[in-house]
């Protein structure tokens, strides 16, 4: 994993999406896609191989990664609509992570926000430790945060997560760089495609990483904020099968 620091016990994270060049959406090249997929593969491998004491409560997530070109040196605003049912001992929220220069696990964390932990330049920032995600049973509610992306950024991951028990739905995700909306046909921020195009699913716990798949993450075609579908994250207990 990344270098040891107070951030690690609060990671609860994964991977997600792609960058832009200037004010116009950037189409990924084959090389970009290969790099993005390799980053995702490396991250999941590191997550599964990490010492379990580095992680907090159980969590399910959807995530991916994207090339940094066009995002470095800007401020990102990340938002989505979230609906919850009986979320307890945790929360549903957004997360974003920016890694600095280096290779693999040697890259320092420049900025991080998981709707509870918040770090900038590797140090606690305003709101750190305060749950800013959804808890309990709530209607569709808009959540967002802003985070600086350093000019030396070498890798960016983001996504959504559910910690503890309960169910959460996520829809109408939006990414903006310096106030300019970002879009990419290879990433479905509205979750209208059959398989949540552009996202990977994962889970973990304080005791065992992904053993038994305690969370089920995937598309729900019965609940939505807009369109016809949303992303559903649900705690389903031991021995469940993730789809």
pLDDT at site 76: 96
In a domain, 242, yes or no: no
With vertex at residue 7, the alpha carbon angle to CA 55 and CA 171, rounded to the nearest 5 degrees, is: 75
85: nearest Cα among 138, 164, 23 = 138
pLDDT at site 130: 94
Q: How many CA atoms lie within 13 A of 114 on its CB side?
A: 24
| 179: its two tokens | 């106030």
In a domain, 132, yes or no: yes
Structural domain containing residue 74: 8-235
In a domain, 243, yes or no: no
- DSSP class of residue 2 equals P
In a domain, 240, yes or no: no
In a domain, 118, yes or no: yes
In a domain, 222, yes or no: yes
The number of domains in the chain is 1
Torsional sign, CA 103, 16, 176, 10:
negative
What is the pTM assigned to this prediction?
A: 0.76
**Mean pLDDT in each 10-residue stretch from start to end of the chain (243 residues)?**
33 29 29 39 41 52 82 96 96 94 81 93 91 97 96 92 94 96 91 91 57 79 97 79 41
| 215: its two tokens | 């969370």
Close Cβ partners of 212 (under 8 Å, ≥ 6 residues apart): 238, 239, 240
- Spatial distance between the Cα atoms of 209 and 235, rounded to a whole number of angstroms: 14
């Amino acid at each position: 994993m990344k270098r040891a620091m107070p951030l690690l016990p609060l990671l609860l994270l994964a991977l997600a999406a792609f960058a832009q060049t200037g004010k116009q959406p950037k189409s990924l090249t084959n090389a970009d896609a290969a790099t993005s997929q390799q980053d995702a593969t490396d991250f999941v491998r590191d997550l599964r191989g990490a010492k379990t004491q580095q992680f907090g409560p159980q969590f399910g997530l959807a995530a991916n990664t994207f090339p940094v070109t066009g995002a470095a040196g800007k401020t990102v605003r990340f938002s989505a609509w979230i609906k919850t049912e009986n979320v307890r001992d945790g929360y549903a929220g957004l997360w974003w992570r920016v890694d600095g220069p280096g290779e693999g696990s040697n890259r320092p964390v420049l900025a991080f926000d998981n709707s509870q932990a918040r770090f900038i330049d590797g140090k606690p920032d305003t709101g750190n430790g305060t749950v800013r995600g959804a808890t309990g049973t709530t209607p569709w509610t808009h959540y967002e945060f802003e985070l600086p992306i350093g000019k030396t950024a070498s890798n960016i991951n983001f996504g959504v997560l559910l910690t503890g028990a309960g169910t959460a739905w996520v829809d109408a995700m939006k990414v903006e760089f310096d106030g300019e909306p970002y879009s990419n046909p290879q990433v479905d921020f509205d979750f209208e495609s059959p398989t949540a195009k552009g996202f990977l699913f994962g889970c973990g716990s304080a005791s065992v990483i992904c053993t038994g798949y305690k969370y089920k993450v995937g598309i729900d075609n019965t609940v939505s904020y807009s369109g016809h579908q949303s992303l559903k994250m649900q705690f389903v207990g031991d021995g469940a099968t993730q789809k």
